[in-house]
Structure 1
Amino acid sequence: MTAVLTDLIISDLKVLRKGRGLFVSRIDERVGTTLRTVCDVTDSDGPAEIRHKVGERLGNWAKKLPPDLRLAVMAAFAIAPDARLPLYQDRVNLAAEKLNRDPRTARRRIDDGIHHLAQLAATFTPKQSSRSHGATRWHIAELRTTLALDRERPEVLEQRRIVADVDDLSEVDITVSPAAIGVDMFHGGTLVQHGARRFAYSLRLPEPLRHGQSHELALRARLGREQHARPWYACVLEYPCATLDLRVRFDHRRVPARITAFEHVDPRDFASATGGVTVYADAAGEVQASFTDLTPGMAYGVRWDNARTGRAEDGAGVLAARARSWGDQAG
């Protein structure tokens, strides 16, 4: 069954890569039925939402590919910002230039990448979707969290895109890190603290959302200085979330010698969890870990050794894993 599904996804992807790729004007007609299913596209989604869902899902799967195949498919579907060219052949030529190969080789890399994407997509079924974890009034379609450790007091910037699962959604619950000593709203509504519950807030939306309507918001949390001494940071999520992009910025002069990303870990065991995937800081001292379809109540994040290298390693390490919402921060 998986082989049949993989073939169907490959067929849909080869149709999507034609012309402007993700930026074709009638993307609702270009995205095939099987690709719609694995990208969680609904009949009520408009062109912008379809483009966002498909591009986000393909981009997350592409992070699991070897660098050359990742580059090839990011160009083929016009996911990469510099690859948003009008013709497929233009994007093939761009991929060839970046790979330092001829266009014929670039086409083979794209085909190989599409086969790998389809295999990854075939393992993602609707029952694994974050929406399957019970009825909710809303869920998070996209979460981007950045922890900055290269300053006197660590800070977390969180950007969310939430989606209403009911009509007339006017307020959502927000739980912040127990380590937070202050929370600011950047945009997206009014933050109201729940009395003596120091970590619990409600966000009053600017206007009620209809079922399926999305809304973007951004928060900043200032953490205590003890975060500098704690060699990990993890997100423990309470509500459904489709994707999490976690970035940690270290002082580039004192980057940890080893950094490991972990997914789906009991929060109580995160500090001693084994396994994980090694990730690498870039020249700016930043690491990135991406997760999809998070499970509420489980921890996702990175842990590092106290030993320092003195400088950032060359190259960027990216982990693609599984995920499901923000809410509380265990780290």
Structure 2
Amino acid sequence: MGSSAEDCEAELKRLRRNRGLCLARADEIGDALRTACGVTSDDTPTRTVQKVIEAITLQAQWLGREQRQAALTALGLSGPESRFLQNRQAWVAQAIDRDIRTARRRIDEGCAELALLLAEGSETAATPTGSWHTERMRVLLALDQPSPEAFVFRSVVACNESLDELDLATPLTASDQMAIHGADDVKVDVFAGGTLLRTRNGSSKLNGLTLRPPEPLRRGQKHEIALRFRAAEMLPHYVCVPKSACAEFALTVRFGTRTPRMVGLLEKVFKNDLRSVTGTPLETDAAGEVHVRFRNLQPEFAYGIRWER
């Protein structure tokens, strides 16, 4: 069972009234935040504080600029390292060029929104199933090269003892595949994490691959994988469709000077709707890149972006 937003907000307020998270002890962190941030009974006090800080920092990226700065400063994760909340409040007021009452209001707003994001994450987090699951994945997709090229960095966790193969078989639009028109034109290189045993081609689609780690993985052991995919052509979207739990997925797509006329965010979309869903509009930055991040991905749903030239 997840945590409620009200409980998370109350615990955030209690933490900010004291010394802030940067100076917090594990016993000052309540049950609601522990649950929302994935703390387990096996975590040490240091790891407990670290997990809470990581989860709060990750979710804070979805807040507005002033609310994010206000909330993180009040919690001692940004701005001055002061033991006193009133000093941190004064710093927020100066940073956002507002009076102290407005600064306090921004802090309250930021903590309330942050509590809601944390609670929603704890309610929707997927339970790991199968022989392994993905803890974190980062994809860098370059579309400004002569042919599309993707680097995939994946941190996986073994759920079984003596796991000697990682079956990365996925549907066409899965996270570690580029959606392609012709599998014969796809090249896969392993930069770290094991040996590529085989790829499985079905008619005209690259369905997946199998990787053998340097040595069998133990239950609970983490393993890092780095792969490169190159294809002659790909469909106008890139998504992660996890088969099991995936805690975090970060995607950067570089269009360069070939900026598409439309880029849309796809979040928890049915696989069959990928071509029909436009998604929330996104803007490319000055380098012609789009950066998105997802947390607690639900199995069999698609997360990523699509574009139209």
Please tell me the TM-score bracket, short chain as reference: 0.7 to 0.9
Alpha-carbon distance in 2 for matches of 1:24, 1:203: 42
Q: Is the 8 A contact 1:20 1:84 kept in 2?
A: no
* CA deviations over 1:216-260 (Å, ceiling 9, x no partner): 332222222x23xx4322222223201211221111x33223211
Q: Is the 8 A contact 1:157 1:219 kept in 2?
A: yes
Alpha-carbon distance in 2 for matches of 1:91, 1:212: 40
Alpha-carbon distance in 1 for matches of 2:191, 2:222: 17
Which of these residues, 233, 236, 247, is aligned with residue 231 of structure 1? 236
Alpha-carbon distance in 1 for matches of 2:50, 2:167: 25
SS of corresponding position for 1:65: coil
Report the TM-score, using the length of structure 1 for normalisation.
0.74
Instruction: Give the letter aligned to residue 29 of structure 1.
Output: D
Alpha-carbon distance in 1 for matches of 2:100, 2:216: 50
Q: Is the 8 A contact 1:147 1:157 kept in 2?
A: yes
* CA deviations over 1:248-273 (Å, ceiling 9, x no partner): 1111x332232111122232320222
Which of these residues, 39, 55, 60, is aligned with residue 53 of structure 2? 55
- Does 2:241 match 1:247? no
Moved more, 138-147 or 45-54: 45-54
Instruction: Give the letter aligned to residue 148 of structure 1.
Output: A
- Does 2:120 match 1:123? yes
Q: Is the 8 A contact 1:279 1:288 kept in 2?
A: no
Alpha-carbon distance in 2 for matches of 1:195, 1:300: 24
Q: Is the 8 A contact 2:189 2:227 kept in 1?
A: yes
Q: Which runs of 5+ in 2 are unaligned?
A: 170-175
SS of corresponding position for 2:113: helix
- Does 2:138 match 1:144? yes
Q: Is the 8 A contact 1:245 1:290 kept in 2?
A: yes
SS of corresponding position for 1:100: coil
Q: CA deviation at 1:129?
A: 1.9
**Which residue does 2:4 correspond to in 1?**
5
Select the structure of larger CA radius of gyration.
2
C-alpha distance 213-97 of structure 1, shift in aligned 2 (>3 A): farther
SS of corresponding position for 1:271: coil
**Which residue does 1:108 correspond to in 2?**
105
Instruction: Give the letter aligned to residue 184 of structure 1.
Output: D
- Does 2:283 match 1:280? yes
Alpha-carbon distance in 2 for matches of 1:52, 1:165: 23
Alpha-carbon distance in 1 for matches of 2:161, 2:88: 41
Which of these residues, 260, 265, 279, is aligned with residue 269 of structure 2? 265
CA RMSD of aligned residues (A): 3.1
Alignment of 1:155-174 (within 5 A): 155-174=149-168
C-alpha distance 222-46 of structure 1, shift in aligned 2 (>3 A): farther
Instruction: Give the letter aligned to residue 269 of structure 2.
Output: V
Q: CA deviation at 1:190?
A: 0.9
Instruction: Give the letter aligned to residue 127 of structure 2.
Output: R
**Which residue does 1:19 correspond to in 2?**
19
Alpha-carbon distance in 1 for matches of 2:88, 2:113: 19
- Does 2:307 match 1:304? yes
* Count of matched residue pairs: 291
Q: Is the 8 A contact 1:194 1:201 kept in 2?
A: yes
- Does 2:37 match 1:39? yes
Q: Is the 8 A contact 2:24 2:49 kept in 1?
A: no
Q: Is the 8 A contact 2:20 2:74 kept in 1?
A: no
Alpha-carbon distance in 2 for matches of 1:54, 1:239: 23
Q: CA deviation at 1:195?
A: 5.9
C-alpha distance 66-200 of structure 1, shift in aligned 2 (>3 A): same
C-alpha distance 172-48 of structure 1, shift in aligned 2 (>3 A): farther
**Which residue does 1:99 correspond to in 2?**
96
